[in-house]
Structures are given as structure tokens and as C-alpha cells.
């Protein structure tokens, strides 16, 4: 073989090796382009074998609304820095006696807990005491109620204004009252 052919084959091999080396050193996750003279396979595609058939699907069930609690509009919502109910969770199903826990900042540590039905009839009421007054402090109270069927309800935690006796700093928690 003449020297110029050996040199040409060597240069082609060197060039292909350089391309492969550069592709391997890339910091991208892209595949390296195929080297010259390399065969590449075309991606396989499936040809349709006939007219498209609709896929049968089951009819969607009609949604049944879940029973949820129901609270009236809150005229004086308490900020989380004044009152928080940790139990029960909103829309929880609850039974009697209902244990209510949370944190409240109340004058002389006194607050009210009330349970209403969907028509806003009072089912239970207690005067609660937090562990301390005038600071956000833990509380726990129990409310006893009676219902004959699952009933939407509203738990209210609030304070009474010393000025005019109105309900203030109110927390509403919608619940479902269970027999």
C-alpha cells in the first residue's frame, strides 16, 4: 500500500477518534451525532391495521355530594394569633361527646364553645377556660349533643365583648354530627 493511502486512512481514523472523544467529553446529556459512514436505524413505527375503533369506556358515575358541615357567615373572624381550633378538622364526622382542642387568647382565659345545626339551632354550649389569659394558650372542652341522623353542623369558638356582649373573635369549624 502506498504511503499516501496509509496516511489518508490514518487521518480518517484520527478524525473519527477525535469526534468520538469530543462527544464523550460533552457535558450535555444529548446523544453524540453519528460518525460519517455509520448506519443509523430509523425509529420503528406501527402502521394502522384498519380503521380506528373507539375504546369502550364505562359511564361516569353521577357524583353524589358528600355531606359537609355548614356554618353561617362569620361576622368577626378571629385571626390565628387570637384563636385556633386544632380538633376537630373542618368537615370531620364527629360523635358526642365532641372534644374540641386548640389555642385561644382570651380575656381572663374565658371563651365560649357552641355547636349549631344547619338551621343555626344551638345543640350544645359550654364556657371554656384556657390555661392562661391574655396570651395564646391551649384549651380543651367537651360538647355533648344528640342527633338521630348525620347532620351538617357548625362548631363556634368565640369570646363575648365586655363592651356590649356581642360575639367577637369567632372561629367557625364546619362538622358533620353523627348519631
Q: Are 10 and 17 in contact (CB under 8 A)?
A: no
Looking at the domain assignment, is residue 157 inside a domain? Answer: yes
Looking at the domain assignment, is residue 111 inside a domain? Answer: yes
Split into its structural domains, the chain has a count of: 1
Each residue of 15-39: b (16+ CB within 10 Å) or e?
A: eeeeeeeeeeeeeeeeeeeeeeeee
pTM over 0.85: no
Average pLDDT value over all residues in the chain: 79
Mean pLDDT of 142-160: 97
Mean pLDDT of 94-112: 97
Residue 68: per-residue pLDDT: 80
Q: Are 166 and 179 in contact (CB under 8 A)?
A: no
- Indicate the range of 56-60, 65-69, 142-146 predicted with least confidence: 56-60
Looking at the domain assignment, is residue 150 inside a domain? Answer: yes
Residue 95's domain comprises 83-177
Looking at the domain assignment, is residue 110 inside a domain? Answer: yes
Residue 38: per-residue pLDDT: 47
CA distances from 54 to 51, 103, 134, 172 (A): 10, 58, 68, 50
Residue 67: pLDDT band by 50, 70, 90 thresholds? confident
Supply the CATH number for residue 127's domain.
Answer: 2.60.40.2550
Looking at the domain assignment, is residue 163 inside a domain? Answer: yes
Asked if pLDDT for residue 77 goes beyond 60, the answer is yes
Amino acid at each position: 500500500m502506498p504511503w499516501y493511502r496509509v496516511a489518508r486512512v490514518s487521518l480518517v481514523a484520527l478524525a473519527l477518534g477525535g469526534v468520538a472523544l469530543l462527544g464523550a467529553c460533552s457535558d450535555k446529556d444529548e446523544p453524540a451525532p453519528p460518525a460519517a459512514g455509520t448506519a443509523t436505524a430509523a425509529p420503528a413505527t406501527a402502521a394502522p391495521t384498519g380503521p380506528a375503533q373507539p375504546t369502550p369506556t364505562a359511564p361516569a358515575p353521577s357524583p353524589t355530594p358528600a355531606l359537609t358541615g355548614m356554618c353561617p357567615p362569620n361576622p368577626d373572624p378571629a385571626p390565628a394569633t387570637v384563636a385556633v381550633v386544632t380538633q376537630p378538622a373542618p368537615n370531620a364526622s364527629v360523635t358526642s361527646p365532641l372534644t374540641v382542642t386548640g389555642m385561644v387568647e382570651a380575656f381572663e382565659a374565658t371563651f365560649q364553645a357552641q355547636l349549631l345545626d344547619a338551621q343555626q339551632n344551638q345543640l350544645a354550649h359550654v364556657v371554656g377556660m384556657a390555661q392562661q389569659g391574655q396570651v395564646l394558650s391551649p384549651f380543651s372542652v367537651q360538647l355533648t349533643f344528640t342527633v338521630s341522623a348525620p347532620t351538617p353542623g357548625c362548631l363556634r369558638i368565640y369570646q363575648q365583648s365586655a363592651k356590649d356582649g356581642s360575639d367577637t373573635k369567632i372561629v367557625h369549624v364546619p362538622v358533620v354530627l353523627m348519631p
